[in-house]
Amino acid sequence: MRLQHLLPNQFQKAISQGWPLLVPAGVIEYHGPHMALGLDTLVVDELLERVSARVDSIVAPPFWYGPTGYAVTGANQGTLDVSTERFGRHVKDVLNSFWDMGFKWIIVCIHHQGLDGPEALSIRQAAAEVIFERSHLERGDAWWGKAPLDPKDKVFERIQVWPSVLPAAAAQGVVMADHAGYYETSLLMAAHPELVKLELLGSDAPWFCNAPDSKATQASSEAGNLMWQAMVDAWEADLSRLTRPARPSPTDVTMQGLF
Ligand SMILES: [Zn+2]
């Protein structure tokens, strides 16, 4: 379900049942002559939509306007850039508000430039600041130091940044470090065929559309469907692991049996 479509009673149910909030983060950036500028955001939005069809969760509206550093093209070819610092401050405001709303798990998903690019780093910094500042505000001084945290207290995991391609999907051959090549083109062909025009890939296409190990001309929706399957499966597995209540230890089971 989409956050923007929830009625208040549905929102209350999601909060009381501890449903994770999934937040797509992307950019507007040139992706070759043959694909839509929103690719990085469209991919994470589609991924989270598919995940939320399998795992009880809410999908937030995306962060569309992220930093690109004009690494691929300038603005004249449709790439948009913003200050990484100010983007991070905006993200922090939004994450703080998601925390106030009561979401127990806030998982931001990013495809653009991986987990070590400026966009992901600024989101990760914002997340860490929110976790530390809110814990202090809510629990007081020495909130970590005064006594060990309850093992069920997952405060450090409450806001996380995950890549679109989790390790289990990467192990199946899905490659994230691709720009407008075989992988991204196949993903978009499978999800939004109307946003891909392979016939526009001429001999003047940029090098990254035709890299030796990732040629956009070889992309197909069949390949894309397999990639989606691996990516969604990996997200479903990791998300279920995160939100599943901790299983009682063997000792607990024995104790329950005794009493
Ligand atoms: Zn991309």
CATH number of the domain to which 39 belongs: 3.40.50.10310
Which domain range does residue 45 map to?
3-170+230-243
Task: Express each pLDDT in 185-206 by its tens digit.
Answer: 999 999 999 999 999 999 899 9
Q: For the chain, give the percent of residues with pLDDT over 90.
A: 90
Tell me, yes or no, whether 27 lies in a domain. Answer: yes
Examine the pLDDT at 252 and tell me if it is beyond 50.
no
Q: Ligand 1 centre from 128 Cα, in Å?
A: 26
Average pLDDT over residues 38-51: 98
Q: Ligand 1 centre from 196 Cα, in Å?
A: 14
Examine the pLDDT at 155 and tell me if it is beyond 90.
yes
Rounded to whole angstroms, the Cα distance separating 256 from 104 reads: 28
Q: What are phi and psi of 83, to 5 degrees?
A: -65, 125
Q: For the chain, give the percent of residues with pLDDT over 70.
A: 94
Tell me, yes or no, whether 252 lies in a domain. Answer: no
Label residue 176 by pLDDT band (50, 70, 90): confident
Rounded to whole angstroms, the Cα distance separating 68 from 74 reads: 10
Tell me, yes or no, whether 202 lies in a domain. Answer: no
Please report the pLDDT score of residue 96 as a whole number.
98
Task: Express each pLDDT in 45-96 by its tens digit.
Answer: 999 999 999 999 999 999 999 999 999 999 999 999 999 999 999 999 999 9
Q: Ligand 1 centre from 99 Cα, in Å?
A: 29
Tell me, yes or no, whether 176 lies in a domain. Answer: no
Tell me, yes or no, whether 251 lies in a domain. Answer: no
Of the two residues 61 and 257, the one the predictor is more confident about is 61
Task: Express each pLDDT in 101-133 by its tens digit.
Answer: 999 999 999 999 999 999 999 999 999 999 999
Q: Ligand 1 centre from 198 Cα, in Å?
A: 16
Tell me, yes or no, whether 67 lies in a domain. Answer: yes
Q: Ligand 1 centre from 126 Cα, in Å?
A: 23
Q: Ligand 1 centre from 138 Cα, in Å?
A: 39
Instruction: Tally the C-alpha atoms within 13 A of residue 9's C-alpha that lie toward its C-beta.
Output: 0
Largest Cα span, the chain: 76
Q: Ligand 1 centre from 4 Cα, in Å?
A: 26
DSSP states along the chain: -BGGG--HHHHHHHHHTTPPEEEEE-------TTB-TTHHHHHHHHHHHHHHTTSS-EEPPPB-----TTSS--GGGT-----HHHHHHHHHHHHHHHHHHT-S-EEEEE-TT-TTSHHHHHHHHHHHHHHHHHHHHHH-TTTTTSSPPPTT--GGGSEEEEESS-HHHHTTT--SS-SSSHHHHHHHHHH-GGGB-GGG--TTS-GGGEETTEEGGG--HHHHHHHHHHHHHHHHHHHHHHHSPPPPPHHHHHHHHH-
Closest CA to 186 of 202, 165, 159: 165
Examine the pLDDT at 208 and tell me if it is beyond 50.
yes
Examine the pLDDT at 249 and tell me if it is beyond 80.
no
Tell me, yes or no, whether 148 lies in a domain. Answer: yes
pTM of the model: 0.93
Please report the pLDDT score of residue 3 as a whole number.
98
Q: How many domains does the chain have?
A: 1
76 is written with which tokens?
């004249």
Tell me, yes or no, whether 89 lies in a domain. Answer: yes
236 is written with which tokens?
């479903």
252 exposure class (CB count in 10 Å sphere: 0-12, 13-18, 19+): exposed
